[in-house]
Amino acid sequence: MNLDLFSTTTDDGVIKTQIAEQAWHLADLVHAQDEQIKVLLREIIQQAPLRQMVTPGGQLMSVSMTSCGDFGWVSDQAGYRYQSLDPRSNLPWPNMPALFKTLAKEAAEKVGFENFEPDSCLINCYAIGTRLSLHQDKNEVDFSHPIVSVSLGLPATFLFGGLQRNAPQTRLALQHGDIVVWGGLSRLAYHGVLPLAAGEHGLFGQQRINLTFRKSH
């Protein structure tokens, strides 16, 4: 099932589509800043390289990840959690650039979440063929805060399910520059990303990068 929904245009010309209860898609919100974001990402990845993590069940994740901000999301044999130190270096994660924080706060505000103060930005890097299997994001302490996600590079098909793993799923195309804000009941919905289709993006090449902004603590 594909989502086919009505869109509205906000005062500032952004195309906004409600995709579920308390979940909104904001099309092409990032295009003017994409080159700056790429420069900032390169600096972050120099300090805290992208790495494939292992799930508590012992599976190597296909997506490479790193974080910036006060906390980073990590997974290993001991479980999923947020940590203030990068386990690879035992150093704090790189700072969250002001541009990143502003982008996330402004997106949250456009759909009615005032005062979103992310303390963590998870950076997911998808090579062609890699995927994120169905999961919930529940390692944060307070689910009343939304999650803001920014898609960059190659397009992906996002799977959006319900509050139970076996609920029916809808599909949503996420393009370079799109932002999605998930709050309320959608905050704990199961979701995933289908294997990345081959392609070449003008700025990001043969990959997709997704930034997810969270208030983890």
Buried b (16+ CB within 10 A) or exposed e, 42-75: eebbeebeeeebeeeeeeebebbbbbbbbbbbbb
Q: Work out how close the CB of 148 gets to ligand MD3 at its nearest, in angstroms, rounded to a whole number.
A: 8
CA nearest 172: which of 196, 154, 155, 189? 155
Q: Which stretch binds ligand MD3 (CB under 6 A): 5-13, 36-44, 101-109, 187-195?
A: 187-195
Residue 149 binds: one of Fe ion, ligand MD3, none (C-beta under 5 to 8 A by kind): ligand MD3
If one asks whether residue 150 binds ligand MD3 (CB under 6 A), the answer comes out as no
Residue 178 binds: one of Fe ion, ligand MD3, none (C-beta under 5 to 8 A by kind): none
Instruction: Using DSSP, state whether 101 is helix, strand or coil.
Output: helix
Residue 193 binds: one of Fe ion, ligand MD3, none (C-beta under 5 to 8 A by kind): ligand MD3
If one asks whether residue 119 binds ligand MD3 (CB under 6 A), the answer comes out as no
Give the torsion sign (CA, 123, 127, 128, 133): negative
- Contacting ligand MD3 (CB under 6 A), which of 64, 130, 186, 216? 186
Instruction: Using DSSP, state whether 161 is helix, strand or coil.
Output: coil
CB 122 within 8 A of CB 212: yes
The Cα-based distances of 158 to 3, 8, 150, 170 in angstroms read 11, 21, 13, 8
Gap between the Cα atoms of 44 and 31, Å rounded: 20
Site string for ligand MD3, 40-79 (x = CB under 6 A): ----------------------------------------
If one asks whether residue 121 binds ligand MD3 (CB under 6 A), the answer comes out as no
Regarding beta strands 15-20 and 79-83, do their DSSP bridges make them parallel or antiparallel, or are they unpaired? unpaired
- Contacting Fe ion (CB under 5 A), which of 137, 179, 190, 207? 137
Site string for ligand MD3, 4-43 (x = CB under 6 A): ----------------------------------------
Q: Which residues bind Fe ion (CB under 5 A)?
A: 137
